[in-house]
Amino acid sequence: MELGYDVPPEDSFATGLEGLGQTILQHGSDHLKELLLRRIFRGDLITCLLFSEPGAGSDLASVRTKAVREGGGDWVVNGQKVWSSRTHYADLGLLLARTGTEDERGRGITAFLVDIDSPGLQVRPLVEMTGDAGFNEIFLDGVRIPDDRRLGDLGGGWAIYLAIMAASRDALARSRRRGGRGGLAAVASAERVAGVLQRLGKQDVPTLRQDWARLYIHYKVNQLTSERLAAEWSEPNAAAAARAMGKLALSDAMSAAAQLVAQALGPRILADTGEIDSFDWQPFLLQTPAFHIGGGTDQIMRNLIAERGLGLPR
């Protein structure tokens, strides 16, 4: 018997548990901690991040969503966000809005915690090429946020953004290393790819076997390197570079896994032929490019490695 409940996926809780909860604990007022932390960690609140905008993705310091305070009261927010994950399930969003001038860049950004059901806030899902709609665009038209929902200092939003992204990348890298929970992580391992080759009887094809060996080495080296860097690099800039290295390496490894599976399955990856593994891997193949973008593009990761890890100029 099927029940007609639209139940959010398990990873809908990831933002709160792996980033926002810790960020509130570090930067939030006593009021926000008391109001939100228990509810987030119990799973009573699903949270999301309202960061990127149509003109501010990789260059997030150029956000234009504007928050203006009315006297000493509420903040009134107008603007648009895009590519926000799970907002259609969320109760609460961490919003970056400009409270200073555009010339101030990151110094003029403040973080707020906004209720997704606030009047004037509209969520529109974005349908992807997989047919899913995990991302959303958000429109804010005169949304009112009390000042006690401000997270951190006025103009301190950039530091909060860096802190939550570092926590999220670290959690993402740990999840991928140990097999993760659902989605891409559940199918990205070298062992799962080896299973496909064995079921197809192609484990002894020299080129595929060599490609799989390279894939296994890629995962293993990344795992060992990430563990070593996590143990050795405690200084903030170096730690940020280590996380960026881990995400970049895993993005490349998962693309290699997708390419190897597609090569082994051939046209069967595009249509359900009734054969084992046919069509099952298509969502993975289509979703993998997004991992090179989400949580910071490959180019942003390389900049982090260059500037914070190697000390190169901007």
pLDDT tens column, 79-114: 999 988 888 889 999 999 999 888 888 889 999 999
The verdict on 149 and 202 lying in the same domain is no
The verdict on 203 and 291 lying in the same domain is yes
- Type of residue numbered 22: Q
- As for how many domains the chain has, the answer is 2
The verdict on 305 and 211 lying in the same domain is yes
* Inside any domain, residue 182: yes
Sign of CA pseudo-dihedral 258, 259, 261, 262? positive
Sign of CA pseudo-dihedral 16, 18, 24, 25? positive
The verdict on 14 and 148 lying in the same domain is yes
* Inside any domain, residue 168: no
* Inside any domain, residue 1: no
The verdict on 191 and 107 lying in the same domain is no
Per-residue pLDDT for 3 more than 70? no
Sign of CA pseudo-dihedral 296, 302, 168, 182? positive
Report the predicted TM-score, pTM, of the whole model to 2 decimal places.
0.71
Print the domain residue range for 76: 10-153
Domain boundary among 120, 136, 153: 153
The verdict on 201 and 305 lying in the same domain is yes
CATH number at residue 114: 2.40.110.10
- Overall average pLDDT of the 52-62 stretch: 76
Which one, of 254, 239, 251, lies nearest residue 304 by Cα?
239
Residues 6+ apart with CB under 8 A from 180: 186, 188
C-alpha separations of 129 from 118, 126, 133, 185, 204 in Å: 30, 10, 9, 19, 34
The verdict on 206 and 283 lying in the same domain is yes
pLDDT band, very low/low/confident/very high, at 236 (cuts 50, 70, 90): low
Contact 158, 100 (CB under 8 A): no
The verdict on 16 and 140 lying in the same domain is yes
pLDDT band, very low/low/confident/very high, at 186 (cuts 50, 70, 90): very low
Domain boundary among 138, 153, 168: 153
